[in-house]
Structure 1
Amino acid sequence: MGGQNNFLKRLYDWVIHWAQTPHANKALFTVAVAESSFFPIPPDVLLITMGVSQPKKSFFYAGLSTLGSVLGGILGYFIGWQFMAAIGEKIIHLYGLSHKYLQVQHLYRNYDVWAIGLGGFTPLPYKLFTISAGAFKINFLSFVLVSLVARGLRFFLVGGVFYIWGQQVQKIMERYLNWLATGFATLVILGYICIKCLF
Structure 2
Amino acid sequence: MKLFKPLYERALRWAKHPHAERYLGGLSFVEAIIFPVAPEIMLAPMVLSQPRRWARYASVSLLGSMLGAFVGYALGHYAFDLLRPLLAQIGWLPRLDALVSELGAEVRSHPWNAFWMLVAAGFVPVPLKIFTWASGIVGMPLLPFIGGMLIGRGKRVYLLAGVIRLGGERAERALHRWIEWIGWALVLLIVALIAWLRLVK
Q: TM-score range by the shorter chain?
A: 0.7 to 0.9
- State which drifts further: 53-62 or 125-134: 53-62
Bigger Rg, structure 1 or 2: 2
1:160 paired residue number: 162
State the distance in 1 between where 2:21 and 2:195 align: 30
| Offset, 1:95 | 4.2
1:68 matched to 2:68? no
**Consecutive unaligned residues in structure 2, runs of 5 or more:** 107-112
Indicate if the aligned counterparts of 2:122 and 2:155 stay in contact, CA closer than 8 A: no
| Offset, 1:127 | 0.5
The one-letter amino acid paired with 2:101 is H
Indicate if the aligned counterparts of 1:58 and 1:163 stay in contact, CA closer than 8 A: yes
2:110 paired residue number: none
State the distance in 1 between where 2:159 and 2:18 align: 25
The one-letter amino acid paired with 1:63 is S
1:187 paired residue number: 186
1:95–1:25 distance in 2 versus 1, CA, 3 Å: same
CA RMSD after TM alignment: 3.0
Matches within 5 A, 1:96-175: 96-108=91-103, 109-110=105-106, 111-174=113-176
Could you state the TM-score of these two structures normalised by the residue count of structure 2? Answer: 0.78
1:71–1:196 distance in 2 versus 1, CA, 3 Å: farther
Which of 22, 36, 48 is matched with 1:26 structurally? 22
| Offset, 1:192 | 8.8
| Offset, 1:164 | 1.1
SS in 2 for 1:170: helix
The one-letter amino acid paired with 1:102 is D
- State which drifts further: 62-71 or 165-174: 165-174
SS in 2 for 1:83: helix
State the distance in 1 between where 2:80 and 2:51 align: 40
State the distance in 2 between where 1:130 and 1:30 align: 17
| Offset, 1:101 | 2.2
| Offset, 1:79 | 0.5
Indicate if the aligned counterparts of 1:92 and 1:128 stay in contact, CA closer than 8 A: no
Identity, % of aligned positions: 28
State the distance in 2 between where 1:173 and 1:136 align: 41
State the distance in 1 between where 2:137 and 2:192 align: 25
Indicate if the aligned counterparts of 1:73 and 1:127 stay in contact, CA closer than 8 A: yes
1:105–1:151 distance in 2 versus 1, CA, 3 Å: same
Which of 56, 79, 83 is matched with 2:79 structurally? 83
CA deviation string 1:117-147 (max 9, x = no partner): 2323434211011011101100012101110
The one-letter amino acid paired with 2:122 is G
The one-letter amino acid paired with 1:132 is A
Matches within 5 A, 1:26-45: 26-45=22-41
1:93 matched to 2:88? yes
Indicate if the aligned counterparts of 1:55 and 1:162 stay in contact, CA closer than 8 A: yes
Could you state the TM-score of these two structures normalised by the residue count of structure 1? Answer: 0.78
Indicate if the aligned counterparts of 1:77 and 1:130 stay in contact, CA closer than 8 A: yes
| Offset, 1:158 | 0.4
